[in-house]
Amino acid sequence: MAAYRIGVLKGDGIGPEVVPAAVDLADLSARAAGLSVEWVELPVGLEAYGQLGDTLPPQTVEALRGCHGWVLGPVEHHRYDPRLPSMRNPSGTLRRLFDLYANERPARNLPGVPSRYEGVDLVVVRENTEGFYADRNVLEGDAELLVTPDVVVSLRVVTRRACQRIAEYAFQLARRRARPGRVTAVHKANVLRRGDGLFLECCRSVASRYPDVAFDHVHVDAAAYFLVREPQRYDVLVTTNLFGDILSDQAAGLVGSLGVAPSLNAGDGYAMAQAVHGSAPDIAGRGVANPTAEILSVAMLFEWLGRRFDDPAATEAARRLEEAVGAALSAGVRTPDLGGSATTAEFARAVRAHLAPGSML
Ligand code: NAD
């Protein structure tokens, strides 16, 4: 395979701190694994708005069409003016434009990371293109209606096609994971009888084609309870957009910090690495953000490239990157979110030392 083109969109807040660190380490890992990557930096977010008048400039979207995948840093969406089309949420817009329908969000104990639980190894698979997300449910405008100044109606979209393919994604993932697979559908079909009823029906029908993967389902409120009581009981949790967003942050808290929670947004043609966390305005600019989530998200992108292009070098680059992060954490190098005092740069240096032991640090 010739060089992969991977877009780099730094985003807002801590994005310009954690994304370059992740890309730098991913590049080292790729080189060591014999993987050729061309990194293409593209404008996005508040900086792009300041320079080009658009949080997701058309030239960025066009350039992404020529990429195999990309890394999107967090965006400080609450500061975007919802009345301005030029202040679109890049995250939601890209998921929809490139049909990145599956958001895969693993939560597992990492070596050396203090956490309330041990033995957690689960993945939340979140439908990414519809559900309760007002910015992706209608062709123009958004799906929140101001009926009177005191009444808002928010519309949720649930389609058979989206439910079936997210269920399919979850079962495929469960099959790939090392232990005997189990998929748990998380829903609220007792109240949202039609929308979540359709989701559950689709999960059941896909489950019947995967007899080797166990299947069960749980109401979302009970899922939140069981996650706190006994997170080890779960393997792959598949759910609709908003429930997945909430439960995956909860799952990140179970294994230490949002700073270690990676994610991948995948479709059939493209994939976007994007940490679970947001722009963390409370710590932005201080150089103390944990880059682990972003680094592991790029590792997930490498894994995806390995599967899509049947390329062992990409899989190997992912493995090396994960291993180096694990080694740095095991050695006790921790950013403040994990109770340590390392800066972003110090943590990145520790990872680098494991990727390229002889290099200048
Ligand atoms: P957040 O994830 O930015 O922060 C929540 C808490 O986690 C904060 O205390 C923060 O300091 C901490 N945290 C997050 N990432 C960290 C890291 N890498 N290292 C150390 N600590 C970390 O959530 P929020 O405060 O609710 O949202 C802030 C902004 O981010 C909002 O504008 C929101 O819309 C946006 N957001 C964007 C994304 C995305 O782009 N994927 C996701 C969630 C929120």
Domain extents for the chain? 1-106+257-361, 116-254
Stretch 81-103: mean pLDDT: 93
Q: How remote is the CA of residue 33 from the centroid of ligand 1, in Å?
A: 32
Cβ(308)–Cβ(301) below 8 Å: no
249 is catalytic: yes
The reported pLDDT for the residue numbered 358 is: 64
What is the position in ligand 1's atom list of the atom closest to the CA of 282?
11
pLDDT-derived band at 80 (thresholds 50, 70, 90) equals very high
- Residue 1 is predicted with a pLDDT of 56
Calculate what percentage of the chain has a pLDDT beyond 90: 91
Overall average pLDDT of the 53-69 stretch: 98
Question: What span, in angstroms and rounded, lies between the C-alpha atoms of 121 and 141?
Answer: 39
- Indicate whether 260 pLDDT > 60: yes
Q: Three-state secondary structure along the chain?
A: CCCEEEEEECCCCCHHHHHHHHHHHHHHHHHHHCCCEEEEECCCHHHHHHHHCCCCCHHHHHHHHCCCEEEECCCCHHHCCCCCHHHCCHHHHHHHHCCCCEEEEEEECCCCCCCCCCCCEEEEEEECCCECCHHHCCCCCCCEEEEECCEEEECCECCHHHHHHHHHHHHHHHHHCCCCCEEEEEECCCCCCCHHHHHHHHHHHHHCCCCCCEEEEEEHHHHHHHHHHCHHHCCEEEECHHHHHHHHHHHHHHCCCHHHCCCEEECCCCEEECCCCCCCCCCCCCCCCCCHHHHHHHHHHHHHHHHHCCCHHHHHHHHHHHHHHHHHHHCCCCCHHHCCCCCHHHHHHHHHHHHCCCCCC
Domain 1-106+257-361 indexed as CATH 3.40.718.10: yes
Residue 69 CB partners (closer than 8 Å, separation 6+): 4, 6, 7, 270, 271, 272, 273, 301, 304, 305
Nearest CA to ligand 1 atom 24: 278
With 90 as the cut, is the pLDDT of residue 140 above it? no
Distance from Cα 268 to the centre of ligand 1, integer Å:
28
Q: Are 199 and 156 in contact (CB under 8 A)?
A: no
Q: Give the per-residue pLDDT at 361.
A: 46
Confidence of residue 262 (pLDDT cuts 50, 70, 90): very high
Tell me which of 356 and 236 has the higher pLDDT. Answer: 236
Q: Among residues 80, 101, 135, 188, which one is catalytic?
A: 188
Task: For residue 67, give the amino acid letter.
Answer: C
Q: What are phi and psi of 256, to 5 degrees?
A: 135, -60
Specify the fold of 116-254.
Answer: Isopropylmalate Dehydrogenase (3.40.718)
293-324 per-position pLDDT tens digit: 999 999 999 999 999 999 999 999 999 999 99
> What are φ and ψ of residue 141, in 5° steps?
75, -155
12-43 tens-digit pLDDT: 999 999 999 999 999 999 999 999 999 999 99
188 is annotated as an active-site residue: yes
Residue in 27, 99, 249, 311 annotated catalytic: 249
CA 14–ligand 1 middle distance (angstroms): 9
Atom in ligand 1 nearest the alpha carbon of residue 249? 2
Least confident of 137-141, 276-280, 282-286: 137-141
Is the confidence at residue 329, as pLDDT, over 70? yes
Q: Give residue 83's pLDDT band: very low, low, confident or very high (50, 70, 90).
A: confident
Mean pLDDT of the chain: 95
What's the average model confidence in pLDDT over 243-254?
95
Please name the residue that has the structure tokens 């930096």.
41
- Where does the pLDDT of residue 174 fall: very low under 50, low under 70, confident under 90, or very high at 90 and above? very high
Two tokens, residue 65: 């069409």
Q: Do domains 1-106+257-361 and 116-254 have the same CATH topology?
A: yes
For ligand 1, mutation pick of 277, 286, 346 (most atoms within 8 Å of CB): 277
| Cα 144 to ligand 1 centroid, rounded to whole Å | 24
Q: What is the pLDDT of residues 185-224, one digit of tens each?
A: 999 999 999 999 999 999 999 999 999 999 999 999 999 9
| Residues within 6 Å of ligand 1 by CB | 14, 18, 74-78, 91, 258-259, 274, 277-283, 289-290, 293, 337
